[in-house]
Each structure stands twice: as structure tokens, then as C-alpha cells.
Amino acid sequence: MYNLQSDEKSVQLWSLKHLQHEKLGCEMRPKLSSVIRRLEPQASQILLCEHSTVNPIKADIENVLIYNVREASFARSSRNGIMFRLTQSLPKPSPDGEFYDHLSEYSFTEAPERPDSPLIEFDLDKMRNPFDIWWAATAAKPVEMPQVVGNFELYVELWVPESLKNPGGKIKKVFDGIIASMHADLKPSEEAIEILAEKHMVDKREIYDRLSAPPNPLISFDANRRLVKPYRQNVQWHPDDGRCVSGTLIMKQSSVAKCVVSLRSIPSV
């Protein structure tokens, strides 16, 4: 049961359950995707994706709002940038006066200013997968700030020579790679390291060192978890991105591809 409303500037989806990845045949997915595709920002605007609920959400909030919808849906609306956030509050009633447990909203907002906080900067060579982002981010210079042990907010400027066709389609791999670079996995999987070394033609010892002792271990990581694990003939990355309850990706143009990143701890409610 759901209620979908939209116009040329915004989309609202009220539902009893949030959109889930495994329910590929869900009726509301194609309808939501279709109306999001019609949204078009002005020059200074980025897409704001916000989910409101008082219920616990086990999925990563960027998956609920972006990845589970279909990343291709955001090609037009996210061309200047995209922001997502979780608001732990009771959703407002739908236009017919009904109350739902979940509300996903998509609208435009002015791009925020760069936060006044320590910044991590690194050049980018490729953006094919989380490894490319992680590898570049773990070559960044160290910054000094307290380690984040709870929820956090991530601000990312992605500087590229040419405009990306779909920034919204890049946000998952970019954020996964950056967040992974801020975790220290003290006992990384040897099998995963073997796979990464062969696939990307880099030194196994260098991978081990960057996994276990990255230059910016700014986000706490459960010692019993593994950051990257073997999966079929490849690997899967498992950063603790469920704690990222607010994220911003701003597109910028530059002759050299690079990332500028700001991390901020969010106090528990």
C-alpha cells in the first residue's frame, strides 16, 4: 500500500514499507522511477533525497532512496549533484489524510557550501568500482580529527574534466570506497587480498598495509568484521555505510579528476 505524488519539481512516496532491493517486482518501483526521470534541476540546484520514518531501517539509506529505485532514474535530476539523508521523525500525512510509516521525498535544493572542517583530498585515476575510489583515498595525506564512533555525515566534491552522465549512479561506489578508506581492518582477508592484487595488478603487501593501517582511520570499525571478502570470482566490500545517515555529492569541473571529502559526526538522537 502506497501513495505516490509528483509534479515537475518534486516527488513524494508514502508507503507502509521502504523500497527494498530484493523485491524487484515491486509495483511502486517502476512508477517511482518514471516520475523521478522527469525531474530537471536549475543550474545551481542539486537533488535532495530524504526519507522520514520513526521505524528502524536495516538497509543503507542511500540504497533505500537511490540504488533500490534504479540508479539510471537519476541521470537528469542529479547532474549537478545529489544529497541523501535520513530524518527520524513521523512522516507527514499523505494528501488523502492517511498516515504511513515511511515517506521518501525528492526535490531540489541549492548546493551547500563546503563545510568548515578538516578536508581529505586525493586525485582520481578511475571510478569503475569501490576499489578504484578506496585505492585513491588511501593515498591521501593524513588529517587530524577525532575518530567517529556513531552515525556520520559525508560531504564529497567530485571534480572531473567532463560532466558525468549520471552522478546519482556513481554515488554508491564513491561513498563505499571513501568510507572503506576510513576503516582499519586489522585482520584483512588474505583471499580477498589475493583476488584484488591479481585483478588490479598491485602489490599484495601494499593492499594489506592500506587495509590494516590506512592514513585516515577516521570511522570506527568492528574488529570482528572484514572490510572486503571474497565473492565468487571477485570480492565484495563491506564498509559500515549504514551509519552514514546524510551524504552530499557535489559535481565540480577541473582539468584533473579529484575528490575533496569532509566527515562530520552526527550525535545520537
pLDDT tens, N- to C-terminus, the chain (269 residues): 899 999 999 999 999 999 887 655 578 889 999 999 999 999 999 999 999 999 988 889 999 999 999 889 999 999 999 999 999 999 999 999 999 999 999 999 999 999 988 899 999 999 999 999 999 999 999 999 999 999 999 999 999 999 888 999 999 999 999 999 999 999 999 999 999 999 999 999 999 999 999 999 999 999 999 999 999 999 999 999 999 999 999 999 999 999 999 999 998 75
CB contact at 8 A, 235 and 229 = yes
Single pTM value for the model:
0.94
Distance, in Å, from the CA atom of 73 to the CA atom of 254, rounded to the nearest integer, reads 26
Point out the domain boundary residue: 110, 142, 161: 110
Domains identified in the chain, total number: 2
Same domain membership, residue 215 and residue 185: yes
Q: What is the CATH number of the domain that holds 98?
A: 3.30.1330
Same domain membership, residue 199 and residue 174: yes
CB contact at 8 A, 237 and 134 = yes
Phi and psi at residue 172, to the nearest 5°: -65, -50
Q: Which pLDDT score is estimated for 265? A: 96
Same domain membership, residue 134 and residue 102: no
CB contact at 8 A, 159 and 196 = no
Same domain membership, residue 62 and residue 123: no
**3 state SS of 123:** strand
Task: State how beta strands 234-237 and 119-123 pair.
Answer: unpaired
Grid cell at residue 103: 515517506
Q: Which pLDDT score is estimated for 118? A: 86
CB contact at 8 A, 75 and 39 = no
What domain range is 80 assigned to?
2-110
Distance, in Å, from the CA atom of 36 to the CA atom of 39, rounded to the nearest integer, reads 6
Distance, in Å, from the CA atom of 39 to the CA atom of 47, rounded to the nearest integer, reads 9
Same domain membership, residue 255 and residue 149: yes
Same domain membership, residue 125 and residue 44: no
